[in-house]
């Protein structure tokens, strides 16, 4: 099974999580990431920058989304979780939710086939192979309990209209819930056109927001909660190797870089 286009973007994020697990004190500490990455690409950490920890900001993002998810599930023990654009991330194993939580992992069918090969099946965790914007999948999930939506590294790859329809349809379908996702700035969206990795993968960003809190205006029931730091996260500065900290400190001097990616939480 070969990953195509935007599906290939799962690999640098997984690699960052795999390398994080080798830190003396990891940020995420996901042993699954190391195992799955090795199967996806046995030589992933070879070459000049193969073991570089430059991708650690993406690991911070995963940790924030996990922490928010744990806190939501502590308050809502009976819930549905929609992990959208899940890639090969092992979130359900990291969070290990109670059996009262119905968890759905959703990505393109080809990615879900790989998940089946690399990650064990689990009760109360249902894989769905679909384009997230083909909303037919939404009829397959339980609707009578609060929902937690996690979309890690997904929204920038959707068009604004696609992201809006996706999120507002979910709000319409559930009595209450929380949405956690990341966005990129308008400048980062435009600049990504020249990103060599995006060009290589033929996976471009399709939307960007300078005031992502305003996405609450997309639906009358939606309310902005808060945002967590990513590129300037204290955890990144505490746990990244010194050389990586220096690079981030330098790049964060440019405000456009510091706020190029935002991690956000909304409720309804």
Q: How far apart are CA 164 and CA 174, in angstroms?
A: 16
Q: How far apart are CA 89 and CA 110, in angstroms?
A: 15
Q: Which residues, including other chains, have CB under 8 Å from residue 222's CB and lie 6 or more apart?
A: 167, 168, 171, 179, 215, 216, 266, 267, 268
Task: List the interface residues with ligand SAM, window 7-26 (CB under 6 A).
Answer: 7, 9-10, 13-14
Nearer to ligand SAM (CB atom), residue 118 or residue 145: 118
Q: Which residue is nearest to ligand SAM (CB)?
A: 87
Task: List the interface residues with ligand SAM, window 153-172 (CB under 6 A).
Answer: 153-154, 157
Least distance to ligand SAM, CB of residue 175, Å = 25
Indicate whether 85 belongs to the interface with ligand SAM (CB under 6 A): yes
Q: How far apart are CA 214 and CA 199, in angstroms?
A: 30
Q: Which of 26, 87, 198, 212 binds ligand SAM (CB under 6 A)?
A: 87
Least distance to ligand SAM, CB of residue 171, Å = 19
Which stretch in 5-13, 94-102, 180-188, 192-200 sits in contact with ligand SAM by CB under 6 A? 5-13
Indicate whether 260 belongs to the interface with ligand SAM (CB under 6 A): no
Quote the tokens at residue 190.
């435009």
Best CA proximity match to 216, nearest among 225, 207, 227: 225
Least distance to ligand SAM, CB of residue 145, Å = 23
Nearer to ligand SAM (CB atom), residue 122 or residue 145: 122
Q: Please, what is the angle between helix 10-20 and helix 56-75, to 10°?
A: 90
Task: List the interface residues with ligand SAM, window 97-156 (CB under 6 A).
Answer: 107-108, 111, 131-133, 152-154
Q: How far apart are CA 72 and CA 144, in angstroms?
A: 16
Task: Please report where in the chains the tokens 């990650």 appear, as a residue.
Answer: 119
Q: Rule CB under 6 A: which residues touch ligand SAM?
A: 6-7, 9-10, 13-14, 85-87, 89, 107-108, 111, 131-133, 152-154, 157
């Amino acid at each position: 099974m070969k990953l195509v286009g935007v599906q290939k973007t799962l690999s640098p994020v997984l690699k960052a999580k795999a390398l994080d697990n080798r830190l003396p004190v990891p940020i995420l500490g996901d042993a699954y990431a190391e195992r799955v990455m090795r199967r996806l690409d046995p030589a992933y950490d070879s070459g000049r920058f193969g073991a570089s920890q430059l991708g650690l900001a993406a690991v911070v993002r995963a940790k924030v989304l996990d922490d928010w998810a744990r806190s939501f599930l502590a308050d809502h023990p009976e819930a549905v979780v929609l992990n959208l654009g899940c890639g090969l991330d092992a979130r359900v194993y990291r969070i290990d939710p109670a059996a009262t939580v119905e968890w759905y992992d959703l990505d393109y069918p080809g990615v879900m086939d790989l998940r089946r090969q690399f990650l064990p099946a689990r009760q109360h965790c249902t894989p769905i192979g679909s384009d997230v914007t083909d909303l037919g999948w939404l009829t397959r999930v339980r609707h009578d309990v609060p929902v937690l939506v996690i979309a890690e590294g997904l929204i920038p790859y959707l068009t604004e209209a696609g992201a809006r329809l996706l999120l507002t349809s979910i709000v319409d379908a559930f009595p209450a819930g929380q949405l956690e996702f990341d966005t990129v700035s308008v400048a980062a969206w435009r600049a990504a056109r020249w990103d060599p990795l995006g060009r290589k993968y033929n996976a471009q960003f399709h939307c960007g927001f300078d005031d992502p809190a305003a996405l609450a205006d997309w639906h009358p029931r939606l309310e902005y909660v808060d945002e967590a730091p990513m590129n300037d996260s204290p955890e990144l500065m505490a746990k990244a190797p010194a050389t990586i900290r220096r690079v981030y400190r330098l790049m964060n001097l440019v405000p456009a870089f510091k706020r190029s990616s935002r991690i956000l939480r909304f409720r309804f």
